[in-house]
Amino acid sequence: MNDPSQNAILLIHCPDQHGLVAAISRFVSGNGGNIVDLDQHVDTEQGVFFMRLEWELASFTLPAAEIGPRFAAEVAKPLGITWRLHFSDERPRMAILVSRLSHCLYDLLARWHAGDLPVEIPLIVSNHETLRPVAERFGIDFHHTPVTPENKPEQEARQLALLADYGIEFAVLARYMQIVSGAFIAHYPERLINIHHSFLPAFAGARPYHAAHARGVKVIGATSHYVTEELDAGPIIAQDVVHVSHRDSVDDLIRKGRDLEQLVLARAVWHHVQRKTLVYGNRTVVFD
Amino acid sequence: MNDPSQNAILLIHCPDQHGLVAAISRFVSGNGGNIVDLDQHVDTEQGVFFMRLEWELASFTLPAAEIGPRFAAEVAKPLGITWRLHFSDERPRMAILVSRLSHCLYDLLARWHAGDLPVEIPLIVSNHETLRPVAERFGIDFHHTPVTPENKPEQEARQLALLADYGIEFAVLARYMQIVSGAFIAHYPERLINIHHSFLPAFAGARPYHAAHARGVKVIGATSHYVTEELDAGPIIAQDVVHVSHRDSVDDLIRKGRDLEQLVLARAVWHHVQRKTLVYGNRTVVFD
Amino acid sequence: MNDPSQNAILLIHCPDQHGLVAAISRFVSGNGGNIVDLDQHVDTEQGVFFMRLEWELASFTLPAAEIGPRFAAEVAKPLGITWRLHFSDERPRMAILVSRLSHCLYDLLARWHAGDLPVEIPLIVSNHETLRPVAERFGIDFHHTPVTPENKPEQEARQLALLADYGIEFAVLARYMQIVSGAFIAHYPERLINIHHSFLPAFAGARPYHAAHARGVKVIGATSHYVTEELDAGPIIAQDVVHVSHRDSVDDLIRKGRDLEQLVLARAVWHHVQRKTLVYGNRTVVFD
Amino acid sequence: MNDPSQNAILLIHCPDQHGLVAAISRFVSGNGGNIVDLDQHVDTEQGVFFMRLEWELASFTLPAAEIGPRFAAEVAKPLGITWRLHFSDERPRMAILVSRLSHCLYDLLARWHAGDLPVEIPLIVSNHETLRPVAERFGIDFHHTPVTPENKPEQEARQLALLADYGIEFAVLARYMQIVSGAFIAHYPERLINIHHSFLPAFAGARPYHAAHARGVKVIGATSHYVTEELDAGPIIAQDVVHVSHRDSVDDLIRKGRDLEQLVLARAVWHHVQRKTLVYGNRTVVFD
């Protein structure tokens, strides 16, 4: 029996071809599912089809456990579809990696605490002790993994072990300020979300606010993206900007930028958790 | 034979029910159509289903003239669907009603002239002679219908006759500054697009910038909406805002507002012409 | 002796007249002060002059305690100037009034904790017990004053006593959801900062997101203002908006609105604390 | 005798020092001038002081022709001030350089025609014949200077001769699509305003919308800047952005970008014409 309050969410991409929408929607309707949300996109240049389909399980005649196998056999395999199936009552387990800045951490914890972010947050990891009291305030385990150039492989191994121990599905780098290795990333492909404090691709790398001030820009931005091996070059999930002027010192840019950073990161995490993001090549489809 | 470069566009709304997407997409796929764009929305509160479907006619086996009747008989009637069919190569005939302010008029004409707005503009109507030279510059017929409280019924009759003579499908009130009567509106339901110079519902009616200044707001806006009998209360198509400060006098608000007005009006007209708007109750679905 | 790292801040308004800038700046320069920030505004319609002047005390020859009296005698009285003097190292004591929603409270506390908001926060007051644990997490006294229509005068008297006991300079209504009486406001003129969850003057009063959804707007907003007797009609300090669409349910508006609310409230509080706000009539001058 | 409706505008920058505001404002007040606008900025990092001062000449006791010499002798020389003097009734002569895209040209001409841009526009220059009809519509001389890699020095010489013949004070590159030489720029330092179709420094150079699409950004922008020898690296006057999504093809980015380009360019030109811009190093002070 399906939980009647539960929805199924199907994320799909495949080469574009005739009849995809009809075939996929027939699978849902034919088994008694009521579609409550359908987002679809075709990248006509590259000929790729994307879809996010959400339907009510209350009236669905297939048990939850059979949906995946049946969809695979009847639809996905014949049509060459890559897919992921989620359920609306999942609460993915999320870790937060931080350094010494607290604003993004507080913002995520406040959203989680208010019930606005349907995740579990069992683990905070940091290369500094600074934010341990924040973790303790929220009753979340805090582990200190002091990374240095010399011990990076060991510390990353410790971090990976922690993530595994806590059953972490995805991790958020909330101004973590450390470059994670390709080996680390390989364990969490499309499951590490970073916030960079500039409107990428401008001002990648260190000290973007100083660079923005030196260039005399009139807008500053923040960018949240999935982490890939190339620094600050992963698929962008969310970006936003704010106007600035000659009156803003570097410190003002940093202050105004903090508000952007926490907002943009929270939006990216929310879309990720709502299973509204799809990555292809170095780009994202973000349904909203 | 269908024009191979042409697409068909179907706009649909109906009571939400199981199997809609499957039934509609099967009609297209089953006749050889390749869906290039599908937007769908369900208003779960009111239980209304909306869809915009665009498909290539190159491979479609039904001739263009038969699509409507066949869709009506096979899909729309059985499922209680309200629909409109358009073709991507249509260039709807649009009139512009103006008063004395030129910025929105120039903006629309410049877009049309650059090929960015796929419409015909055979007619400009005004209650003043002021902008006749602008119409002449662009080689567009200009008719002066000087409305006064006394002669309004006659002048509106003249205007309606002009719109009919020129085969006008829809009209844009580009800072027309006159209230059009319910009788007039009844000839062009959901086909009169107005721009109001405030973020409605704030500051409806006359002199919104003066009212905004007096209230000391920190943002001003502009709103484009379909005209209905109640002043400035029709379904909103597009809105945008800009930040202002204590430094901005009423004249500054008017100047900054002009940029908003022409931008917001152009967006609304573009979405209307792209057949991306659906009206229900006093609200719109605007796909983008 | 002045603290050499300290600045003096003078906030001024008066009827506009010849020679004001010269007279005021001569007072500062003539006593050895180095102006580091000067903001000036003239409301030409109403003939009012506003200024915010910040200068370094390191080289200033007047002791801090004499600045006010000397400025009053030599400049303010002769020219009819209304003024306030502040010092950059003041940390005003701020209370937070809340109800059951935590997002604005968390946001303010996180900013305060990170050192981004130079205030003391000794007191949180609420008509519900809900957020006591948040106060406790941050080690801040929490007082429960359960207001009902019947006991409102007594509870407000208790609240005023608390504010007095804790030496509160100004208070923030962080989604407090209660209307405060004129008697209460009279104790804190221009020192009660509220956040309203709409772009005022649209959707004043209760349930603005429901009203915005019903009206079908394409932008929603938030407004922070000084509290006055007329509900949601006080001088606006900060406003911001976010785009929404037909896809957004009332719940989505509430979710997106929360981000706006905390951001706009934080900006208003920051400007207030930086002594960058001046109220006149029902409007504000907010230097930035 | 001064024209009583005229204002004087003084633009100033110099090393920061004690007493600047007092000395400068005393010059104005001491000669009977009523300051109507004063903007001041100190770059504390580099120790540079900037000011824009506007005062009414109606009551000013110095004749317009003597203001400059007297200010130089009494204030500027003793304090090492760099300055420019303007009068509010000047209508600077502006040329527009275009290529084949019409939107920025139309926008500037519409603003000029409506009286929103207080300039004379006697001359349009282009490397293509395409926009000659637009110039003719507005009764403006159009000169065709077909630049090729081979004839660039000669064509630029022709262009410079045209600018000189028409008494041009500054020129706007309204999507001119040609790189102007250092020799050309040297004739119009800080008087060539370009619009680049990206949020610089991201996507400098050719085809920025294609690059933005390939990178998968979620915002696109436009930047107006003074032209310097290094391509797209001059001092930024104005920038703005718009949100985009995966649904936007390159053509959509180009379409949305056009609106930004004309808006941002118009803002930059407006500020330049209002004498509200100051350049220092590679940055600008833009008072507003």
Determine whether the interchain pair D199/A203 forms a contact, defined as Cβ–Cβ distance below 8 Å.
Answer: no
Distance in angstroms (rounded) separating the CA atoms of residues B9 and B23: 16
pLDDT in tens, A32-76: 998 988 999 999 889 999 999 999 999 999 999 999 999 999 999
The minimal CB distance from A26 to the residues B22, B28, B42 is found for: B22
Question: Which among A202, A196, A200, A171 has a CA at the least distance from the CA of A184?
Answer: A171
Residue B216 at interface with chain C, using a CB cutoff of 8 Å: yes
Question: Which among B30, B33, B40 has a CA at the least distance from the CA of B64?
Answer: B33
The ipTM is 0.95
Counting residues of chain B whose pLDDT is more than 70, the rounded percentage is 99
The minimal CB distance from C216 to the residues B215, B283, B288 is found for: B283
State the pLDDT confidence band at C1, using cuts at 50, 70 and 90: low
State the pLDDT confidence band at D124, using cuts at 50, 70 and 90: very high
**DSSP assignment letter at C244:** -
pLDDT in tens, C91-130: 999 999 999 999 999 999 999 999 999 999 999 999 999 9
Size of chain C, expressed as the number of residues it contains:
288
Residues 150 to 189 of B: which have CB under 8 A from any A CB? none
C-alpha separations of C116 from A255, A259, C264 in Å: 8, 11, 15
State the pLDDT confidence band at B124, using cuts at 50, 70 and 90: very high
Strands in A153-235 per DSSP E: 170-173, 192-196, 219-226
Q: Is the confidence at residue D4, as pLDDT, over 90?
A: no
Residue B288 at interface with chain D, using a CB cutoff of 8 Å: yes
Mean pLDDT value of segment D203-214? 96
Distance in angstroms (rounded) separating the CA atoms of residues A5 and C267: 40
Q: What pLDDT shows up at residue B3?
A: 76
Q: Which of C232, C240, C259, C288 is catalytic?
A: C232
Burial (CB count <10 Å: 0-12, 13-18, 19+), residue A70: middle
Q: Is the confidence at residue C213, as pLDDT, over 70?
A: yes
State the pLDDT confidence band at C44, using cuts at 50, 70 and 90: confident
Contact D172, D261 (CB under 8 A): no
pLDDT, chain B, mean: 96
Residue in C with minimal Cα distance to A288: C247
C-alpha separations of B111 from A115, B105, B118, B131 in Å: 47, 10, 9, 18
Q: Which position has the token pair 């509220």? A: C194
What ranges in C85-151 are assigned the alpha helix state H? 103-113, 132-137
State the pLDDT confidence band at B245, using cuts at 50, 70 and 90: very high
Q: Is the confidence at residue B4, as pLDDT, over 80?
A: no
Q: Record the tokens describing residue C62, joined without a space.
A: 């007047």
Question: Which among C189, C256, C179 has a CA at the least distance from the CA of C222?
Answer: C256
Residue D254 at interface with chain A, using a CB cutoff of 8 Å: no
State the pLDDT confidence band at C288, using cuts at 50, 70 and 90: confident
Residues 3 to 22 of B: which have CB under 8 A from any A CB? 18-22
- Mark the ranges of chain A whose per-residue pLDDT is less than 70: 1
Residues of chain A contacting residue D218, judged by C-beta atoms under 8 Å apart: 236-239, 286
Residues of chain A contacting residue B245, judged by C-beta atoms under 8 Å apart: none
Residues of chain C contacting residue D25, judged by C-beta atoms under 8 Å apart: 21-22, 25
Q: What pLDDT shows up at residue B1?
A: 55
Distance in angstroms (rounded) separating the CA atoms of residues D145 and D151: 10
For chain D, percent helix, then strand, then coil, each to nearest 5? 35, 30, 40
Please, which residues bridge with residue A184 across strands? none
Q: Is the confidence at residue D105, as pLDDT, over 90?
A: yes
Residues of chain C contacting residue B263, judged by C-beta atoms under 8 Å apart: none
C248 is catalytic: no
Query: Is-cis flag, bond preceding A201, omega within 30?
Result: yes
Distance in angstroms (rounded) separating the CA atoms of residues A88 and A62: 16
pLDDT in tens, C49-89: 999 999 999 999 999 999 999 999 999 999 999 999 999 99
C-alpha separations of B100 from B174, B181, B195, D94, D266 in Å: 10, 20, 14, 26, 22
pLDDT in tens, A17-31: 988 999 999 999 999
Query: Is-cis flag, bond preceding A4, omega within 30?
Result: no
Strands in B78-174 per DSSP E: 82-87, 93-98, 120-126, 141-144, 170-173
pTM of this structure = 0.97
Find out if CATH 2.60.120.1360 is the number for domain C7-87. no
Distance in angstroms (rounded) separating the CA atoms of residues A207 and D148: 41
SS3 B8: strand
Strands C141-144, C120-126: pairing is: parallel
Q: What pLDDT shows up at residue D1?
A: 56
The minimal CB distance from A219 to the residues D217, D239, D284 is found for: D239
Contact B95, B171 (CB under 8 A): yes
Residue in A with minimal Cα distance to D250: A45
Q: Which CATH superfamily is domain D93-286 in?
A: Formyl transferase, N-terminal domain (3.40.50.170)
Distance in angstroms (rounded) separating the CA atoms of residues B97 and C65: 66
Residue ranges of the domains in chain D?
7-87, 93-286
